[in-house]
Amino acid sequence: MSDSIAYTQVSSWIHDFKELTKVRLSLSVVFSSIAGYLLGIDTFDVGHFVLLALGGYAMVGASNAFNQIIEKNLDAKMKRTKNRPLPSGSMTTSTAFFIATLLTVIGLSFLFIINPITAMFGAISIFLYVSVYTPLKTITPLSVFVGAFPGAIPFMLGWVAATGSFGIEAGALFMIQFFWQFPHFWALGWWLYDDYKEGGFFMLPTGKRDSGTAIQIILYTIWTLIVSIIPALGVTGDLKLSIVSAVLVFISGLIMLFYAIKLFQKRETKYARQLMLASVFYITLIQIIYVSDKYIRIWF
């Protein structure tokens, strides 16, 4: 009986930890960092790879945990978040703060072992996310612009971890994920508009689900497509992309643009959800294309 209780408690703690650190989001960020790392390396280093994966998860998990501490009372008002560990009462604020602090120390330490520049960008990311983006979410739609900076760091962070420097290559990876943030989060903000409104969050550029927001989503989707194929022009240093891969990236972007246009035409919530899912598919797929393109060119 005692073993059963212990198992239940451990299982509950693991569940709460995963919710506090937003495991799926954190893993997607780690995936971006690993993609950037594979693009930047000349020789694969198992130790650095593991440190980047664990350190990256720790940093993102810490950011999410601090975010939930700050937004505890607001999360309690929204259907989507009311069952999170803090608003539901399954975890105390002090426990969450301890976990967030510990993850910050672990994450920064692991990234610093790789190289100091990687740790610096990791620290900048968590600071902007927690201290600037999170408070602005209830004040102004510009929070999405601010949040795009820490959100765009992971892809670039992998390159910096691999090379120990920030150059045009890392900058190009940063810009790809930076512009992508806007259609992604505005689609999410449109889809969950009512829930966000209950929490007092301002996520859409015009504050409404209107043509102005839809047009901006289309424009930023187009910018994302353009920035994503620039490496094929040979102007981004060691970051290259073949014409074939650039076409695949462009076609992938057209799928996202299709749903952005659909949202503008119909202005229905289901199209916002479809656009959000298409954007996740896009950023994941193009990272796979970029990495595959590099190694196909090396091997063949």
244-288: per-residue pLDDT in tens? 999 999 999 999 999 999 999 999 999 999 999 999 999 999 999
Q: What is the distance between the alpha carbons of residues 189 and 220, in angstroms, rounded to a whole number?
A: 15
More confident residue, 208 or 9: 208
pLDDT level of residue 238 (50, 70, 90 thresholds): very high
Q: At what angle do helices 143-163 and 23-40 cross, to 10 degrees?
A: 40
pLDDT tops 90 at residue 3: no
- Closest listed residue to residue 68, CA positions, set 98, 96, 102: 96
Rounded to an integer, the average pLDDT of 213-223 is: 97
pLDDT level of residue 68 (50, 70, 90 thresholds): very high
pLDDT tops 90 at residue 11: no
Rounded to an integer, the average pLDDT of 88-104 is: 96
pLDDT level of residue 300 (50, 70, 90 thresholds): confident
Q: How high does pLDDT run on average in the chain?
A: 94
In contact, 124 and 118? CB cutoff 8 Å: no
Rounded to an integer, the average pLDDT of 187-207 is: 92
Q: What tokens were used for 177?
A: 């994920």
In contact, 180 and 283? CB cutoff 8 Å: yes
Q: What percent of the chain has pLDDT over 70?
A: 97
Residue type, 96: A
Residue type, 101: T
Q: What is the distance between the alpha carbons of residues 188 and 277, in angstroms, rounded to a whole number?
A: 9
Within 10 angstroms of residue 151's Cβ, the number of other Cβ atoms is: 23
pLDDT level of residue 108 (50, 70, 90 thresholds): very high
Q: What is the distance between the alpha carbons of residues 220 and 152, in angstroms, rounded to a whole number?
A: 14
In contact, 13 and 95? CB cutoff 8 Å: no
Rounded to an integer, the average pLDDT of 206-217 is: 95
Output the CA–CA distances (angstroms, integers) from residue 116 to 22, 91, 111, 130, 169, in the order listed: 26, 34, 7, 21, 18
Q: What tokens were used for 103?
A: 């993850």
pLDDT level of residue 6 (50, 70, 90 thresholds): low
In contact, 32 and 158? CB cutoff 8 Å: yes
In contact, 141 and 174? CB cutoff 8 Å: no
Instruction: Write down the pLDDT at residue 202.
Output: 85
Rounded to an integer, the average pLDDT of 161-170 is: 96
Tell me, rounded to whole angstroms, the distance of Cα 152 from its chain centroid: 7
In contact, 280 and 245? CB cutoff 8 Å: no
